[in-house]
Structure 1
Amino acid sequence: MTERAPSIAVRLGLAVALVLAVGGLGAALAALAYGREAAREAYDRLLAGAAFDIARSVSVSAGAVAVDIPVSAFELLALAPEDRVVYRVIDREGATVTGYDLVPPPPRASQGAEVAFYGAEFGGEPVRLAAVRRRFAERAYSGEVAVVVGHTLRARSTLAWDIARKAMWLAAAGGLCLVVLTAAAVRSALGPLRRVEAALAGRRPEDLSPLDVETPREIRATVGAINGFMARLARRMDAMQAYIADAAHQLRTPVAALSAQAELAAEEADPERLRALAARIRGCAAGLGRLTDQLLNQALVMHRADAVPREELDLRMVAIRVAEASDHDLASTPEDLRLDLPEDRVSVEGDALSLIEATKNLVNNALRYGVPPVTITVRAPGAIDVTDRGAGLPEATWEQAGQRFARSEANAQGGAGIGLAIVRAVAEAHGGRMVFSRPARGGFRATLDLGAAALGDGAKGGPQ
């Protein structure tokens, strides 16, 4: 049992889920990076504000640096309640005026900057520091005083994760909306397929007409393929029904004649008349056998018309095989059947068995009803002529020859016309035609013209 394949909706759902997973991971990383940057800028401003407040409170008294740390500075630093606050005021000699001695001074590279931010460790914990320098140029004191303010990173991390978490919640909500919209879009997109399914399921078995369903452009090719398949199936069913009708029509008369002759023979007591009836029965049986062979060949040709792929072949080889397979009992001498083949290959694309069968029917008809010699001629770009010296079919019957139930004056005596039907069907299956003509030197010529299937460079030509 064939494993059930996943549906289109499942495949699209998995694809969307994969895209959302990758996109969600990227959004989470981006949100975390943005949260860290936003938290850094926010708390760096707090540090800078506190540092400036403290720097403004620095003064020089009696040649010494004095600091009266304002309450506003600690109020700013208190906005990060979970963090440990550190500070240090450093005079021009590098000594600590107030604060923690373990707070590292600002790097030398930051000199000249209005405010310098840098990271360090304090008490085994990472801290973020902001340094502000204030220059004094007084008689009692000349030089810079550095004010360093910092705190630990707990509030920063909390804010960064809070921003990232909120962004991920928004992304998850957006992803859920996207999944719902995708499911609705898939259901809407598959609507035309459901209409096609309903149109097919609601049909009667004998209805093979093309589907007339409004579909998007992407599904038209599928509907076209379905219509093409149904058209081929309709042709096969029509051909099958036609074949059944042909077989019933063609077999009814010879079977009835054979039955009548057998009944007469059963009641006949005269030996001479019984032998005559036996000869007629033998002739009827032989004709019925030929008719049966033709009907079987017709069924074979009908089947191969759509079922067998075309291949490149040489019409000269077709003619040679026809000459070998023709009914030599109809030819009284070897000269009654001739071949006229060109030196160069005559390539066509077709079914060799069907072409052989069609040409063989033309040859057997010519041997049976024409006047020998019968000549098989192969011409470029793709045609096989069968010519004899007889009168052939009357021109008035050329158009109807090969059609269902068609009978001509030439085959009225025992012929059923199925051979020409086979030739016509093979020609049409190869995109060609069956053509009759009368050569200038006399006689009758039947042509299997395969111009559409020819692979050569020559132009299509009819009988000359």
Structure 2
Amino acid sequence: MASIRSRLLLWIGLPFSLVGLLTLVTSYYVLSRQITETFDDMLLNAAERLERRIYSVDGELRINMHYFSISTLGSRGDGKIFYRIRDTEGNILAGFDGLQDPPGPLDEPLFFDTRYAGNALRAVATTFPVVRSTRSGQIEVIVAESTEARESLINEFLLTLSILITIGGLLAVTIAMLAIHRGLAPLRSISRSLRRRSQNDLEPITADVPREVSTLVASINGLMMRMRQSIHNTQQFNADVSHQLRTPVSEIRALAELTARQCADPGARHNLHEIGRIAESAGYTVQQLLTLAKARHELVDASAMTVVDLAEICRQACTEAISRIYQRGQELEFCERETGCRIMGDSVMLRWLVQNLIENASQHAGGGQPYRGTLYVAVAYSAQTVRLRVSDDGCGVSPQQLTRLTERFFRASPGTPGSGLGLAIVNEIARAHGASMELDSPPGQGLSVTVTFPPSSAPLAGSAK
């Protein structure tokens, strides 16, 4: 679809071009008529001057050529002049006999177009009385001029007018472009403001805009308000669902454990333990689903993010996980390679990210078997980015499985505990922080997950594509 700028230029340039063309056509007809009338008056004046040059001697008509020559008939001196003078008997007194006769009676001066000797001519024919001795009669005079002078003058006028119209058109288009540029400045300002925002920033637009644009801004702000309300409702719904589900699941687990202690039947006790295990898994899945719902990148309010120390958050997450890691026969190593690993983010969500990366490595590094190795957590600052890397020395995953690890509920080793949501949560939190996530699993070297964040001095990039 054409832009507003091109549409405005089209609606300004097209009418102006039509007006300019109409002006040229109208000017041609007006100038042609006026120049023709002016030249015709000069022709008639030249013909009337002949009357003063004709006199009678002994009944014979003569012309005083001493004071009159053909050049005196010219209007501008750059055209060809032809004339003819004859009496009522048809005798040629002077001039060119081959000139065409007038096309009508000469009751008054008659102007007409003709040709002679290969020249297009404009001619005037008129009569005036003369006296020969005792007789009086009429003398017919025709004066014709070639049309080059008229056409040259018309072309000069039209050329000058065309140049003026072209210059005026260019100036008008330039002024129109400047006016359009200035007029669209508020829209460009709003566009830049929205483009610089994270897609999760739903704060109202506060730009000072003209009255015509204020309606658009009000509509955008209204849409943002409705989206914020929708996000709030969604988050509230997630919290309500989590609360309503976690309570009965916890009660089922507690009741199953209590009943198993009081039950003497081994088969029933086994079933009760299974119920407790399933209830525990269901409770963990509910908790992960709630975390995933809260971590959805499109629901995160980027305006609430602050500058946080990623290394400190990793240290806290490792401290919380260390006892659980040791109970599983594993070790946890944390390495802070650089100081000042500060990013724009939400500390709670970033803790979820690190916790899920550690838990994912702890649960699945051994494949179908319990993992007894070391988990590595490293934070580093390099090349204007902050990198978080969590890796293990386990069996890794196949290239086919590697591309699906961030899918919800996908598990590379279905036999191990878990919900299949850990890396999906990590991916959502990374996207909400404008970070990129890379998974690598060389054969026999375990799985490595690297999350690359922009530093706090760089603008937040929004969600990763």
Q: TM-score range by the shorter chain?
A: 0.5 to 0.7
- TM-score, with structure 1 as normaliser: 0.53
**What is the letter of the counterpart of residue 188 of structure 1?**
R
- Mark the CA change 1:79 to 1:70 in structure 2 (over 3 Å): closer, same or farther: farther
The alignment partner of 2:193 has SS state of helix
- Pick aligned residue for 2:150 from 153, 156, 159: 156
For residue 76 of structure 1, report the CA deviation from its aligned partner: 4.3
Aligned match for 2:63, one of 59, 63, 67 = 67
Give yes or no for the alignment of 1:196 onto 2:212. Answer: no
SS at match of 2:88: coil
Residue 90 (str. 1) matches residue 98 (str. 2): no
Q: Which runs of 5+ in 2 are unaligned?
A: 294-465
Residues 155-304 of structure 1: pairs in structure 2 closer than 5 A: 155-203=149-197, 205-269=199-263
Match of 2:6 in 1: 10
Whether the aligned pair in 2 keeps the contact of 1:53 and 1:72 (CA below 8 Å) is no
Question: 1:236 Cα shift?
Answer: 1.6
Equivalent pair of 2:71/2:81 in contact (CA under 8 Å): no
2:43 alignment partner in structure 1? 47
Query: What are the superposed Cα offsets for residues 29-68 of structure 1, whole Å, 9 maximum, x if unpaired?
Result: 3333334234323322321221111122222333332222
Rounded to whole Å, the distance in 1 between the matches of 2:132 and 2:95 is 24
- Separation (CA, whole Å) in 1 of partners of 2:101 and 2:175: 57
By how many angstroms is 1:254 displaced? 1.4
Report the Cα offset of residue 126 of structure 1: 1.6
Report the aligned-residue RMSD: 3.5
Query: How do residues 62-461 of structure 1 correspond to structure 2 at under 5 angstroms?
Result: 62-69=58-65, 71=67, 74-109=70-105, 111-113=106-108, 115-136=109-130, 140-203=134-197, 205-269=199-263
**Is the CA contact (8 Å cut-off) linking 2:61 and 2:132 kept in structure 1?**
no
Cross-structure match for 1:452: none
Q: Distance in 2 between matches of 1:227 and 1:87?
A: 86
Deviation at 1:15, TM superposition (A): 4.5
Q: CA deviation at 1:77?
A: 2.9
Aligned-partner residue type, residue 89 of structure 1: I
Letter in 2 for 1:77: L
Measure the CA separation in 1 of the matches of 2:145 and 2:156. Answer: 19
Deviations 1:221-278 (A, max 9, x none): 433432333233222211111111212222232122112112112222257xx89x98
In 1, the alpha carbon distance for the partners of 2:94 and 2:19 equals 51
Q: How far apart, CA to CA, are the structure 1 residues paired with 2:102 and 2:256?
A: 129
How many Å separate the matches in 2 of 1:69 and 1:106? 25
Q: 2:412: which partner in 1? A: none
> CA-to-partner distance for each residue in 1:183-226, whole Å, 9 max, x for gaps?
10110121111121133234455442432333334434433432
Q: Distance in 2 between matches of 1:71 and 1:45?
A: 22
Once the two structures are superposed, what CA deviation does each residue of 1:301-324 show, in whole Å capped at 9, x if it has no partner?
xxxxxxxxxxxxxxxxxxxxxxxx
Count of paired positions: 280
The alpha carbon displacement at 1:79 in A equals 4.0
CA contact (8 A) 1:128 1:153 kept: yes
Instruction: Give the Cα separation in 1 of the matches to 2:9 and 2:236.
Output: 51
CA change 1:73–1:44 in 2 (3 A) is farther
Change (3 A) 1:27 1:211: same
Of 189-198 and 59-68, deviating more is: 59-68
Distance 1:72 1:228 in 2: 92
Cα pair distance change 1:67/1:106, threshold 3 Å: farther
Query: Which amino acid in the other structure matches residue 34 of structure 1?
Result: V
Structure 2 length as normaliser, TM-score?
0.53
